[in-house]
Amino acid sequence: MPEINFTIDPQTGEMEMKVEGVQGPQCADIAKIVTELLGVPEHEENTKEFYARPSVKPQVQNKKKV
């Protein structure tokens, strides 16, 4: 299940966000929602999951010649 972890430091009021469990650039959609409310982040880094692509097994069908 995808999750977003937010950390807020009350001393500064600053917040960090980490998106987990979302492969590929889908997490950019989450970042967009947050950016609309917070503005452009000071620092942004893509995790390994961002570069991962969902694995799709090729389906092979045996066709019989009639």
CB of 46 vs other proteins, minimal distance in Å: 19
Here the tokens at position 9 are 């430091």
Q: Is 4 exposed, middle or buried (0-12, 13-18, 19+ CB in 10 A)?
A: middle
Q: Which of 9, 59, 60, 65 binds other proteins (CB under 8 A)?
A: 9
CB of 61 vs other proteins, minimal distance in Å: 36
In whole angstroms, what separates CA 13 from the centre of its chain? 24
Size of the site for other proteins (CB under 8 A): 22
Question: Would you tell me which residues interact with other proteins (CB under 8 A)?
Answer: 1-15, 30, 33-34, 36-39
